[in-house]
Every structure is written in C-alpha cells, then in structure tokens.
Structure 1
Amino acid sequence: MPVEMNFILVFLLLACLQYFVLADIQGDALFALKNSLNDSANQLNDWNPNQVNPCTWTRVNCDQSSNVISVSLAMMGFTGSLTSKIGALKSLATLSLQGNGITGGIPKELGNLTGLVRLDLENNRLIGEIPSSLGNLKKLQFLTLSQNNLSGTIPQSLASLPSLINVLLDSNDLSGKIPEQLFEVPKYNFTGNHLNCGINYSHPCESDTDQGSSHKSKIALIVGITVGLVIILLLGGLLFFWHKGRHKGYKREVFVDVAGEVDRRIAFGQLKRFAWRELQIATDNFSEKNVLGQGGFGKVYKGVLADNTKVAVKRLTDYESPGGDAAFQREVEMISVAVHRNLLRLIGFCTTPTERLLVYPFMQNLSVAYRLRELKTGESILDWPTRKRVALGTARGLEYLHEHCNPKIIHRDVKAANVLLDEDFEAVVGDFGLAKLVDVRKTNVTTQVRGTMGHIAPEYLSTGKSSERTDVFGYGIMLLELVTGQRAIDFSRLEEEDDVLLLDHVKKLEREKRLGDIVDPNLNKNYNIQEVEMMIQVALLCTQASPEDRPAMSEVVRMLEGEGLAERWEEWQHVEVTRRQEYERLQRRFDWGEDSVYNQEAIELSGGR
C-alpha cells in the first residue's frame, strides 16, 4: 500500500477517533445533566447515552464541528440540581435553565465553560454563593441569576469580565459590597438583596431604565386636568349606553380600541405548533360549555389534549396580518421570551388562513375576578392574606415585563380578570403582549391597542400612546378591585351617588376616612386595617392622572414590601389637594348638567382614535 494511502487512512482514523471521543464526552456530560435535573416527566427522552451524537437531541444545538454550543431548558419543571460534569462542555456558548425549580448550588465547574456568552439561571431555587470561578468566563456577556436564594458576597472576579453587558442578580439574599466595576456595566440590577448600594451609597442598585420618570412640573397638572375632561366626555357616552340599557341587566365590561405605537419584534423560543383539528377535539369543537371567559381579545376555552393535559385555548378575534403566519409566529415568540413565576407560560399556538389560537396551561383556580365576584355556591372567597400575595405577585410579574425583558413588554390591559391563580393561589399574569399580537394590522405606523374601560390610563385615552406607566395605572385599579371586590365601573352606584368609577368612589371614601366602607364586605372584617390602608395608598399613587407621577413597578414592589411608601404618600396628598381644587374650579366653569350628558349623541367606542 502506498505511503500516501497509509497516511490518509491514519488521518481518517484519528479524525473519527477524535469525533467519537468528543461525542462521548459531551454526551456523558449532557446525560449527567439530565439525571441531576430530575427529568421525572421524561421530557428529554431522546437524551440517550447509547446514541453517539448528542447534536440530534432535543433543545441541544451544535456547530459544524459537532461541538455543543447551546442548551436551552427553560420552563420545563425540573426540580433537581446542577451536575459538576456540565463543565465538560467546553464549547458551550448559551446555557438557559431559567424558570425551573432547580435546587442546590451553582457548580464551580461552570468556570470551565470559557466560551460561554449567556448564562441564565433566573427564577430557580439555587442556594449558596456565586462561584468566583465565573470570573474565568471572559466571553460572558449576559449573566442572569435573579430570583433565587443565593447568599454571600458578589465575587470580585466578576468585575474582571471584559465582555459583560448585562448582569442581573436581583431578588436573592446577597450581602456585602458590590464590586465597583459592575456599576459600569450597561445594564445591571442588584435590588432585592442586602447589598451596599442605593441612596446612602455612591451608586443606585439598578441601572436607570426610565429617563422620563423624574420630570414633575406644572405641566403634569395641566395634563391631568385635560385628561380629566376627556374622561368626562367618555363617561357621558357610557352613561348614555347605560341609560338605554339599564333594564337589560347590563354587567359586561366595555372594551375599546385606541390607536397605539409602532411594535418591535424579535424571534426566539421553542413553542409547539398545534394542528387545528387537535384543538378542535380538545375543546369539543369550541363548545360554549367549555368557555372559561371572554375579553377584548377573544374567548378562552377549557380543553384536554390527547395526553390528558388540561389547557386553556384562547381563540383570537378580529385578527388581520399582512405577514400571515410568519408575522403572527414572530409576535408569539416575543411573548414566549418572558419567563417568570408570576407570568403565564405559553405552551404553543395554531394558525390557519382564518384563525389564530394560543395555548396555555389551565389554571384550576381561574381568575382573581372570578374569585372576587363570580363564585358559585360553596366556593371559598379570597381571604386577605391571599389578596396580599396576589398584589405582590402581580407587581413582580409586571416589573419583570417592564424592566427585565428586552424589548420591554407593556401589558395594556391589567385587571383582575387577567390575573390568574394557580393551584396554590399564586398570581399568574396572563394576556401580556396580546395587544401587540392581535393588532399587527394594515399599517406599519400605528396599531389598534385594546383595553377595558375603567382600567385604561387617562393619557392613553387622550393620546393613544402607551407606556409601562399605563400598566401601572391599570395595576392600581386592580389593587382597588382586590380591596373592594368591586368592578372598575359600576353603574349601580348611580342610584346612591355620582361615582360610577371605582377610583373616584374609593378616593371619596378615603378623603372621608371611611376605610371600613371601602373593604369587600365578603371578608367579614377578617383583615388588617393598616395593611388595607397601605394597599389603598399604593393604588392611589399608581392611578395619578400624570404618568410621570406614578411609581415604576419596581418601586411598587418595594412599597408593598414596606419600603418608601410613607414619603411618596405624603407628597401625593399635597399634589392631590391642589389638583382637586383646580378640577372643581373647571367643573364649575363648564357647569356640566344632567341634561347635557343624557342628550349627547352616542360615542362610538369600538373604532380607533
């Protein structure tokens, strides 16, 4: 045999040997990870140690040289721990394990993954210290360890990471000093720990994400007065409809469309694409007896898949898209990026030429609105401790959408009906992102954004421009729903007073110091009046007329946890007195009479503005 042929055979033999050795090392490491994560549901059933090439396994991506470069196992319900053998995946660039229930510590062997660019372990139950070995990850750009139970100090070695652009360590039990260099990272968050930062130190605990929140001036007062007049006009239209249908038992919420702004889109996530027939069978042909609820985006049906998994299927209405399936899928994938214990997980979707459907896990305790106002005989009400947990959980979910998603997600329809309750009665925010999803319409300049009357911020009604502060307003109204058990708009109050809006009703009782009259009578006085007062104060701060005056959701979370409320409340009282005096002066000037309201033409609420 010629020498050249021998050389080629030896080369090929060595190449094959290297391939199989590499595959064995990577396969062994991944299989060890599967076992340590406690994959009791066997979701990773194709992670087979007898299958040589792990590049064909679910949620594993490789490069052209068969090096494992990405492992994405977010929101899969794992409850085990992280194995040290994961350090053998030398070429790994992305490790995403967020949204599980992973326990134990972070293995120091992660520091061996020198090619790692993104490490996301958010929203698990990890304990112990952050390994200093992570300082070896010189290519690391995104480090997310938020919402765990990590303790100890932040390793100084993290300060030497040259590529770091995003470090999120919030909501842990960390203490001590933050390495100075980490404050130079473009985006950081150290809130919810016991770290040395904040007002009494040289740096804030979180990078500034809202440049406009500090602007408070007389302009805000003028804006508040203007939008107040807009509300009066809209309320006149609502009163007209009520006056015509007051004998028809009108109880349904009023939905409106308002012009919005341009949407940005990203592509991400791994979702199941359901067949139409599969969902048709699951919901018994979308039977009315399976309807769980109906809102501005369509009906929601209870369904049971072929594997007996219970789901909630949202059948979107009025959907039009010039981009067809591709545009819809991009928006769906944008929603799937948001992974948080207080946000509803999206399982998958279905598209046909005429239908758009979303599939979510079924929440057996339904919505907060149901538990407040629609209980069947024998079902228990929401007690006060549960209502407090709902308030805080919802705030944390919205904080995540506003401040930890990139791009940020604005809900646009925050209300008790869109806050669901899991088996432990923990709050799960649903329908986020649907305002964008439903309204990818005939123009790339504006969209139609929907909301529910009584929950929509005044500046949104008058300008059609939404921001995270419009969500804060809706959240404030939801807090009032929690406290009172009442709807945001209730025409039955016209029999006794002029305050159809729940917000005005509560403000009046609060001014008169009649807190006991505000609280849901179904609680039978089983509540802490100081906690009730605190929640009402937070709600009124969130529902200020000027968006610049409202707190960010991160501040709302802190106030609900007992930090900074007293100062904000005292400031609000001074502003509110001035605003009310000016508002009453304008009312006297315009002299709105009963006849002028009831004789108005009907205001069209379903079209864009």
Structure 2
Amino acid sequence: MMSLKMELVLAAVVLAYLQSFVVSNLQGDALSALKVSMNVPDNQLKDWNPNQVTPCTWTNVICDNNEHVISVTLSGINCSGTLSPKIGVLKTLNTLTLKGNGITGGIPKEFGNLTSLTSLDLENNRLSGEIPSSLGNLKRLQFLTLGQNNLSGAIPESLAGLQNLINILLDSNNLSGQIPDHLFQVPKYNFTGNHLNCGRPNLHSCESHNSDSAGGSHKSKTGIIVGVVGGFTVLFLVGGLLFFVYKGGHKGYKREVFVDVAGEVDQRIAFGQLKRFAWRELQLATDNFSEKNILGQGGFGKVYKGVLADNTKIAVKRLTNCESAAGDVAFQREVEMISVAVHRNLLRLIGFCTTTTERLLVYPFMQNLSVAYCLRERKPEEPVLDWTTRKRVALGAARGLEYLHEHCNPKIIHRDVKAANVLLDEDFEAVVGDFGLAKLVDVRKANVTTQVRGTMGHIAPEYLSTGKSSERTDVFGYGIMLLELVTGQRAIDFSRLEEEDDVLLLDHVKKLEREKRLDAIVDRNLNKNYNIQELEMMIQVALLCTQASPENRPAMSEVVRMLEGEGLAERWEEWQHVEVTRMQEYERLQRRFDWGEDSVYNQDAIELSGGR
C-alpha cells in the first residue's frame, strides 16, 4: 500500500504536469485566437495547429526553456482582421511585433496584462480608437511603436509611469490633446503627424528626438527615429588598433583575405515565416552537410544548399565560433531583430536552428547565386551579366542598404558589403545577404570585445585603424562593390604586381580615371556593350563612396538619388576639387624628397645597414 508521503509526492508531480499542460494549452489557444481574429491568409502560419500541446514549435514563436512563449513576430503577413483580447493571457511574453499588416479595430485593453512585455510594435497598420490606458501597466516596456495608424484621442497619462521607456513612436496618427510631460524625457520619441499640443513654446517639440550620451539631441530629417541607445549601439562600435601586413603574392592569386571572422519599403512582400528548425531536419536537407552541397565559404562560416521534405530549396548558413550554450535567448532575439527587416532587396530569413554547439540560419535558395559568382566564377555556358542588369544590381543593393541604415529600428550595419554578399534571384534582382551577422556572432561571446570584421580590400580605412564602424563603413564597401560590378575584378589582386603597383582595385581605377582611360576600366566580358555616360556615372558614384574621410562619403539615400540621376554632378565637382588639392600636395612632397642622381644625398647611402 502506498505511503502517505509517496502519495503526496505523486500528487505534486501530477499537479505540476497538469499546470504545465494547462499553461501550454492557454498559450496555444491565445495564439490561435489571434491568428483567427487577424484573418491570417491561408498560406501563412500553416503549422499553427491548435491541437498541439505546445505552440513552441510554431513559426515566428519563441519560447524559453520552460516552454513559456516569450516572443511572437508576425510582420507583413497581409492580415486584414483585428486583435484578439485573448492575447492578454501570455504573461511571459516580452516581444510582440505585428508591424506592417492591415490590422483594423482597436488595441484591446487586455494588452495591459502583458506585464513582461519589453517591446510592443504595432506600427503601420490601420488601428483605430484610443490608446488604452491599461498600457500603463507594462512597467518593463522599453519600446512602444504605434506609429502610422489611425489612433485617435489623447495620449493616456498612465504612459508617463513607464519609467523604462527608451523609445516611443506615436507618429502619423490622429491623436490630439496634451502630451504627458514625462514622455519628453524618453531618450527617443516621435509625435509628428498628429494634432497634439506639444507644450509651452520653446520648451518641447513634437518632432522626433534622439538624445546622445552627452544629453544633446538632433532632429531626424525624415521625422522617423532609427536606432536605439545603449547596448545595441555598443555592439556596432569596436575597439583596438589592427595592423595588416601584405607580404608576397603571385599571379593568379584568387583567395580573399578575411579579417577575424568566424566568419523603398515594400509592404506587398509577405514576411517570411521565422521557423525554428530541428537539427535533424537540416542535416537531412543538406545530406549531412556534404561538401558537394557547399555554395560558398566566408568569414561567418559555410553555406550549404539543401532541399526540405516538401522539396523547398534552401541555403543553410552554418555559423562558426558557437560552442558555448550560453546566450541562446540573446541569439534568438538578434535573429528575430534581423528577421523583421523586410525589403525586396534584402535576403529573407526563413528560420534558424540552435543546439548546444551549433547555430544555423536558413534562407531561401538564390537561383543565380551571387554577383561575385556571375562576374568571376560562372561556367562558360552561363550568360554574362549585361550592362542593364549591372545597373539594376547597383540600384537594388543601394536600396537594400538604405533600408538597413535609415528605416530599421534599431538600424543595422552590414560590415561586409561586397559582390559575394549581393545575391541574385531568378530575375537577377539584387538581394543583399549576410546583414546583421557580425552582430549575431558577437552576441554569442562572453565578455565580448568586438573586433574588426570584413574582407580585405572592402574595409573602410577608419574602421581598419580605429575599429569604429558606422553606416559610412558600409558606404565604402558598397563603393568597392560598384567597382567590382564595373570591372569584374576582385578588390585585391596580387597578379597586378607584375604590371603595376596597384594591388588594390580602388587605386587601380583611380589611376585609370585620372588618365581618362575608361575603356581600360570596364569589364572586357561586356564586349563594349555598355553606355559610356552610365559607366562614367557609376565610377563617379563609386569614387565618392570610397573617399578616405567617412564624413565626406554620401549616405546610402543620397547614393540612391545619384544613381537615379539626381545630385551627382555637384558632388563630383566637389570631389574633383578635393582630389586635385590632395594630388598637388602629394606631388609637392615627392619633389621635396626627390634628390636626383646628382644630389649629395645618395640613395644607397641611406639604406638601412644589414647585419654586421
């Protein structure tokens, strides 16, 4: 007969199991209700099965180790319904992102029950009604994004009690009345495009505000805040001085030199379902990561071609330097951040897989591989990238980078822009890949000291010397990529040592441009089938992007405009003036130290002595 003690222990175990079962069911019911109320299209969220015990395997849902839902991201999936109040049962949820849909109706007051929430993003929907005062219960909330909706009424005074807010965006609504004074103390805010009373004259402004570390502020030209403060920014600022010494080289040298690497928003695009894949699933898809399925290898790891059970072709990036199990949740959050960057010229993330020793990212397979492949590695029977396609690639890649820099929140710095990371879909449209991966790898490291990342020849000089990266380091890399497109050559080519001193493609092109030898710059594979004026324009844009001083380089939005034919002539005239002055100074210094054969200073006399 079972003892009373054993009966109590068994009862406790059964009770714990039942509680877990009930929690899982409640979570699944709440998410299923959200799917139904939002009127999610039939081709989306197919694996959201309400009969499953746990929703933790569903796409776009992330759980913690106790199978509590902590993140739900359903951006840009073409919904047309409303928000279900049942979402309020998800007490462990800390990230809810429903941006870029067609959601109508109001924000249920039950959203105030999501007390673990740190980020709520309902931007760019058709939400109406008032902002519920219950959102004041979200004491952990750091990011509140309700911009570009049809919300009306006053901003609830209760929001003034959200002491952890670091970013509040309520722009482009129909809000009216007084803005709670405390909200002007939030480091980043945007109240533009409403009918709000912004406070006493000269005291406050409805316009977007971005506090720097010194307590100052600046206004965004577009009125939309990009970036976040604190920790996010730190990951993009790297320290240390890194010196590289090039020694030797021979004709036909083809390998790229990697540095310390383990390695127009379009709402019509359906957001890729972020799925958590099982390791076995990807192992089978890639034939156990067979060498014959390797598509490429870069600083972040190898990329494998794969085929899922439903015959979907995928590309699996197997990240390196991921032995530690710590930081799994942080990695998932960074993956989620990258996954919400949705643009026609950015590579869509399908899903990911994590184990104690592995980190893998899953993308759609790009049929025409990369720009680098098409320029330099294509098979004889494969077509040459014609001039029209190269122009389209240049503009598409620029638009993708512009979106990362100026429309993502927080903004994303690529840090390894090059032809190998610009992929081509079935229509040869440019798709920028590998964005955000430097940050993903960094977040895996304990006591992280971020180091310079990128590929030699593509790295901006200030990043190489100081370790500090910014949007303008990407602009430099983009400029080098443009030169790759025009010339078909690599950023570094040691074979040029036998003919000239310019190992770097940038120096080689600058020299030819000064000599007005554009015909010697362009890729011979084009067989002279190009427009000379367009060629000149693309070279000019590339040289503006690769100026030594980052402050002189254009932003990617300006690059887009110049490629579209606006503002290039003025910028090029300025650049030529600076370049002429620089060359004159260089020649002056050369003459100063050019003593000649008859000089009392014989060159042999000043050579360093050898061993004695």
Provide TM-score, normalisation by structure 1: 0.65
SS in 1 for 2:297: strand
User: Partner amino acid for 2:478?
Assistant: Y
Q: Does the 8 Å CA contact 1:344/1:429 hold for their aligned counterparts? A: no
Q: CA deviation digits over 1:45-91, x for unaligned, max 9? A: 4247xx999999876799xxxxx99983436x84x431146588688
Across the aligned residues of Structure 1 and Structure 2, the Cα RMSD in angstroms comes to 5.2
Instruction: Considering Cα pairs closer than 8 Å and 6+ residues apart, tell me whether 1 or 2 has the greater RCO.
Output: 1
**Cα separation, 2, equivalents of 1:467 and 1:326:** 28
How far off is 1:454 after superposition? 1.0
Q: Which of 200, 217, 241 is matched with 2:249 structurally?
A: 241
Q: Does the 8 Å CA contact 1:258/1:464 hold for their aligned counterparts? A: no
Q: Does the 8 Å CA contact 1:47/1:58 hold for their aligned counterparts? A: no
SS in 1 for 2:468: coil
Q: Does the 8 Å CA contact 2:84/2:108 hold for their aligned counterparts? A: no
SS in 2 for 1:299: strand
The 5 Å alignment of 1:318-467 reads: 319=321, 324-327=324-327, 330-331=330-331, 333-338=333-338, 339-340=340-341, 341=343, 342-345=346-349, 347-353=351-357, 356-405=359-408, 408-438=411-441, 444=447, 446-467=449-470
How far off is 1:351 after superposition? 3.6
5+ long unaligned stretches in structure 1: 1-21, 63-67, 192-196, 211-226, 260-268, 601-609
Q: Does the 8 Å CA contact 1:31/1:47 hold for their aligned counterparts? A: no
Q: Which of 103, 107, 121 is matched with 2:104 structurally?
A: 107
The 5 Å alignment of 1:66-465 reads: 72-74=72-74, 78=77, 80-84=78-82, 86=84, 96-98=97-99, 105-110=102-107, 115=112, 120=121, 133=129, 139=135, 166=167, 187=188, 204-206=221-223, 234=245, 237-238=246-247, 240-242=248-250, 246=251, 249-257=252-260, 272=276, 274-275=278-279, 277-317=280-320, 319=321, 324-327=324-327, 330-331=330-331, 333-338=333-338, 339-340=340-341, 341=343, 342-345=346-349, 347-353=351-357, 356-405=359-408, 408-438=411-441, 444=447, 446-465=449-468
**Cα separation, 2, equivalents of 1:281 and 1:255:** 30
User: Partner amino acid for 1:32?
Assistant: V
Q: Does the 8 Å CA contact 1:472/1:553 hold for their aligned counterparts? A: yes
Q: CA deviation digits over 1:422-472, x for unaligned, max 9? A: 334333322233334446798736344332121111122223333332222
Aligned residues: 503
**Cα separation, 1, equivalents of 2:510 and 2:178:** 45
How far off is 1:539 after superposition? 1.8
SS in 1 for 2:453: strand
Change (3 A) 1:40 1:490: same
User: Partner amino acid for 2:104?
Assistant: P
Q: Does the 8 Å CA contact 1:476/1:539 hold for their aligned counterparts? A: yes
Provide TM-score, normalisation by structure 2: 0.65
Change (3 A) 1:549 1:61: closer
Q: Does the 8 Å CA contact 1:460/1:470 hold for their aligned counterparts? A: yes
Change (3 A) 1:394 1:143: farther
Change (3 A) 1:348 1:91: closer
5+ long unaligned stretches in structure 2: 1-25, 137-141, 193-206, 209-218, 228-240, 263-272, 596-602
Q: Which of 491, 498, 519 is matched with 2:494 structurally?
A: 491
**Cα separation, 2, equivalents of 1:88 and 1:279:** 35
**Cα separation, 2, equivalents of 1:179 and 1:425:** 50
Q: Which of 574, 587, 609 is matched with 1:571 structurally?
A: 574
- Identity, % of aligned positions: 66
How far off is 1:418 after superposition? 1.0
Q: Does the 8 Å CA contact 2:104/2:128 hold for their aligned counterparts? A: no
How far off is 1:493 after superposition? 3.5
User: Partner amino acid for 1:456?
Assistant: I
User: Partner amino acid for 1:205?
Assistant: T
User: Partner amino acid for 2:391?
Assistant: K
SS in 1 for 2:582: helix
The equivalent residue for 1:537 is 540
Q: CA deviation digits over 1:175-220, x for unaligned, max 9? A: 99x99989998546899xxxxx99xxx973246879xxxxxxxxxx
Q: Does the 8 Å CA contact 1:189/1:205 hold for their aligned counterparts? A: no
Q: Does the 8 Å CA contact 2:402/2:557 hold for their aligned counterparts? A: yes
